[in-house]
Structure 1
Amino acid sequence: MQSLLFSTSSTFIILLLSFWRLDASEKRLLLTDPDVVQSLQNELHALRSKVQQLESSQNNAVSENAALKSKLTRLEDELANLRHNGVPAVSSYIIWGRKTCPQVNGTMLLYSGLIAGKIYSEKGSGVNTLCLPHDPDPAPSDFPISIHGGYFSNIWGAEYQFNYRQIAIDDDPPCAVCQVQRSTTIMIPAKRNCPAGWVKDYTGMLLGAWDHEYASDYICLDENPEFFEGTRSHNDDGRTLYPVRARCGSLPCPPYVNNHYISCVVCSQ
């Protein structure tokens, strides 16, 4: 901006000197000539306007920068306050064999359902066990009923394949999806207690597929399992549930014991 003012002043001085150096034989330009004065005034006014615009732009830039810095500081303070006060984190887990969630502080039932998965005799379909809700929504209305080639996957309900406490073989098992006000949940096989600092949500027994069936995942059945009333006389198989035993060899014994069943615990923190 200073260079611009210097350039403007220099131009004005040179213009004045040029007036004085006019040859005497030529028509003199007098500074009192109204046209000359008006021309110079117009030029000075234009230069002043340009200088003011530059100063205004600079001030606006400074103001905008200050506003952005203020907003950044405010957001950083809000984030620090949230971290200090602690935003409650949540996670979820499935309790297998129960219709409701455990009575643990900060635990809420998201939905209850029925255990389902692949039938024991199928190679394909999903390997993982699911907790299907009691009120399913239909597939999109435009989804084709007939699939090209006739290839599809299946999902079946589940059945207990052992007697234990209040359940019997072929009973249909329930499940429940639970939300906890803790950020992490984990199922630990072969344990009945949680690590220090963790909350015990429930303990139980590890279940899987029979070793002569096609594979499925391992799940932790609550130690006080329930069943759906009216299912005791039905033998539909589907996703069959068996207790899991330890087999020594590559699994060290001790500490494990050959053919002993494996416990489990679900913990959160």
Structure 2
Amino acid sequence: MAALIVLVIFIVQAIAEKRILLNDPDLLQSQIHALERKVEDVVGKYTDLSVKYADLSTKYNDISIKNNDLSTKYTDLTTKYNDQSIKYFDLSAKYNTLLTKSNVGGLFIRWGRKDCPGNNTELVYSGFAGGSWYDHTGAAAEFVCLPRDPDLTTKFSSAYAYIYGSEYDTAEFGHADGDDLPCSVCRSTVQSSVLMIPGKSSCYDGWTMQYHGDLVAGAYSQKAATQYICLDEHPEDLTAGQDNHNGKLFYPVLASCGSLACPPYRNGKYLTCVVCTK
């Protein structure tokens, strides 16, 4: 019974203290200020988060727009790439066809040889170097490469010109005086431009060398006009062509200073030559 009484007294005192606390204005005021500070803090954080969210939303929208632009550009580039790929394969097919048919090759004559060089060339025919008599005043100037299987005729009977074989007229080319000169007509199977460069033994950048050798022409003291041709560095002669009958003759070409710039040329020096394709 005594314990119960003590318990009741404790409860009554606690209720009384609670009432006192609830009725304390300072306590209530401090609690209100504390709540206000918490609310302000929450509102501040909410505002910051709202600003950050808005900023992130803007950036997201910008990124979305850029992504859409990139997607569009990617689609356009993919389309262009596919178009270019189709054109590339089409051109490749045409190029391979041209290589197979080999219809675009440039022609050149290899003087002093019965064959063609490498470098994607094919032999059209091998024959005899020829031209006009070295001392005829009405002679044609150019050298020609005569085929071994001519088609001849007898239908003319009026005035005429002559054609002769061409001979080495000096042993300096490695063959006896009177040895006949061969030639070969060659065609590049991949390159269409042909250039003979006098005074050079190598080609310029971008050009392919077919052969090189010595620049030759008719002697200056002979009446017949000639042209400059490029005699291969390693010339051959024709079988059974050792008899000295003259005909179309040629000699190495010397530089003569004066109107010719010296240097780079030097008086009395012989000129080389090279045949190039591209």
Alignment of 1:32-51 (within 5 A): none
1:109 aligns with 2:119: no
Amino acid at match of 1:98: R
Alignment of 1:2-81 (within 5 A): 81=90
Cα distance in 2, alignment partners of residues 167 and 216 from structure 1: 21
State the SS of the aligned residue for 1:221. strand
Shift of 1:123: 1.3
Shift of 1:156: 0.6
* Equivalent in the alignment of 1:201: 210
Structure having the larger proportion of residues in helix: 2
Amino acid at match of 2:216: L
Percent of aligned pairs sharing the same letter: 41
* Equivalent in the alignment of 2:240: 230
TM-score (norm 1): 0.64
CA contact (8 A) 2:198 2:215 kept: yes
Cα distance in 2, alignment partners of residues 164 and 262 from structure 1: 14
* Equivalent in the alignment of 1:179: 187
1:154 aligns with 2:169: no
1:217 aligns with 2:231: no
* Equivalent in the alignment of 1:25: none
Cα distance in 1, alignment partners of residues 240 and 128 from structure 2: 14
TM-score (norm 2): 0.62
Shift of 1:240: 0.6
- Alpha-carbon RMSD: 2.1
User: Structure 1 regions of 5+ residues with no counterpart?
Assistant: 1-76
Cα distance in 2, alignment partners of residues 221 and 115 from structure 1: 11
Shift of 1:121: 1.1
Which digits, 9 at most, give the CA deviation of each residue in 1:219-262, with x for residues without a partner?
10000000013333x22110011111000000011111111111
CA contact (8 A) 2:208 2:277 kept: yes
1:100 aligns with 2:115: yes
* Equivalent in the alignment of 1:10: none
1:138 aligns with 2:152: yes
Which digits, 9 at most, give the CA deviation of each residue in 1:82-117, with x for residues without a partner?
587423421110000001111x23110010001000
State which structure, 1 or 2, has the greater radius of gyration over its C-alpha atoms: 2
CA contact (8 A) 2:119 2:210 kept: no
Alignment of 1:161-172 (within 5 A): 161-164=169-172, 166-172=174-180
* Equivalent in the alignment of 2:139: 125
- What is the aligned length? 185
